[in-house]
Structure 1
Amino acid sequence: MYNHSASAPHVRQFQTAATQRASESDRGTNKHIRELLRYYGLRTSLIRLKVIDALLVAARDGRSINASDVHAYLESFAAELSFICVREVLKRLCDEGVILFQPDKRYIFTTEACAILEQHSGR
């Protein structure tokens, strides 16, 4: 008979290693966002990474994005974040000068933030 408990530590080691590799891969993918946050003296958090990613996707498409659009983008990836949390992150990014809040209630990156992202994006 197969002893499940004997293999459990090996399974956990594999899962931990796979999770660690995925995290390292995500870190590499988000390096430019991490550098942006570091430049502005902000801690890296999952919600900040996701919100900035949504802003980047919109910027690549040549458009600005509002808080509802950011929230909908995050929900499409099953991110269970409240609208209020998204709005608070956007407000903090505005307060720190990372993004601008426009009269039409949409957000765009500042010129300085765009330059930092471009510098660290590896393009």
Structure 2
Amino acid sequence: MYNPPLPTDGSQASQGASMGPLASNFGQRAERHGNERIRLLLKSFGLRTSLIRLKVIDALLVAAENDRRLGVRGVHSQLLDLDIPLSFLSVREVLKRLCTEGVVIYNADKSYSLHPQACAVLNAD
């Protein structure tokens, strides 16, 4: 039996004849759908997808859902709590780049939040 290699770019593998109709749904997590939304957001702003951008934006989304704002340290701490080993400097640089591109806003209280236009892109279904 031949097992084709899994794709590394996030696309679905083609299904062979031996795979059932539910095989494409097996192992697919809700997080994948969230990542897909964030990927579309980054693409709409002309940015490439990277793991650190996905995680930083996800951390900001979780904070917004809980009516909180996070600064660089807050985002970094949240990522460390999730066992995502990113350096403080990397998180800071990603937040600065996302601000430059208009995805994120730097607030007066030194916290970050998603730009209303970015929220509109995420909520568009």
Specify the TM-score bucket, using the shorter chain as the normaliser.
0.7 to 0.9
Q: Work out which of the residue numbers 35, 39, 42 in structure 1 matches 2:40.
A: 35
Whole-Å separation in 2 of the counterparts to 1:110 and 1:28: 21
Deviating above 6 A after TM superposition, structure 1's stretches of 4 or more consecutive aligned residues are none
SS in 1 for 2:89: helix
Task: Structure 2 unaligned segments of length 5 or more: list them.
Answer: 14-25
Q: Which amino acid aligns with 1:47?
A: I
Q: Tell me the TM-score normalized by structure 2.
A: 0.75
Task: Structure 1 unaligned segments of length 5 or more: list them.
Answer: 1-9
Whole-Å separation in 2 of the counterparts to 1:96 and 1:27: 24
SS in 1 for 2:113: strand
Per the alignment, do residues 27 and 95 of structure 1 end up closer, same or farther by CA in structure 2, a change over 3 Å counting? Answer: same
SS in 2 for 1:30: helix
Whole-Å separation in 1 of the counterparts to 2:68 and 2:80: 19
Tell me whether 1:49 sits opposite 2:42 in the alignment.
no
Q: What's the CA shift for 1:80? A: 1.2
Greater RCO (CA < 8 Å, at least 6 residues apart): 1
**Which of the two has higher C-alpha Rg?**
1
Whole-Å separation in 2 of the counterparts to 1:28 and 1:104: 31
Deviations 1:1-29 (A, max 9, x none): xxxxxxxxx9xx6xx76x9876x645433
Tell me whether 1:67 sits opposite 2:50 in the alignment.
no
Q: How many residues end up aligned between the 2 structures?
A: 106
Q: Tell me the TM-score normalized by structure 1.
A: 0.76
Matches within 5 A, 1:1-123: 25=29, 27-120=32-125
Whole-Å separation in 2 of the counterparts to 1:101 and 1:29: 23
Structure with more of its chain in helix, by fraction: 1
